Amino acid sequence: MDTISKSLLSAELQELYMQNKKWMSQILFLEDESRFLQQLFVKKQFLIDLKTGSKQKELIAESLISLEKRTITIKYLVIQHQHLLETIFKDPLHAIGITLLEEHARITLKLKELFHLDCVLKSELFAIIEEVD
């Protein structure tokens, strides 16, 4: 019975580990995309200012900065979570509590929010750029 529970635990930990790796890949993509959006915004900000006004331009600039800061924050959460999972793999005597699953769920929620914000920001930015081009 003890061997079965350890193998089940190992499978669950491996699943969490693979999910964490996927998150990191998504975050790295989001960072690249964020740089692209910032460059696009910089190229078009004069036209955006002329067509929609400086208030709209400021809102987009603030949203881009906020998205970048949130991405960095979540990236470090994912890195810390990854290190915790690696520690558990290396040390079979490491105690595993419910906090690991709670942390995983918290990161999942934060990532969903981040991706939603990214989607909304891209839609708004592209809509404004279509207006000015």
CB 45 within 8 A of CB 57: yes
Burial of 69 (0-12, 13-18, 19+ CB in 10 A): exposed
Q: pLDDT, tens digit, for every residue of 60-96?
A: 889 999 999 999 999 999 999 999 888 887 776 666 6
Q: pLDDT, tens digit, for every residue of 8-64?
A: 557 778 888 899 999 999 999 999 999 999 998 888 888 877 777 778 788 888 999
Half-sphere exposure of 122 (CA within 13 A, CB side): 12
Three-point CA angle 88, 92, 96, nearest 5°: 55
Domain boundaries, the chain: 26-132
User: Is pTM beyond 0.85 here?
Assistant: no
Q: Which pLDDT score is estimated for 50?
A: 75
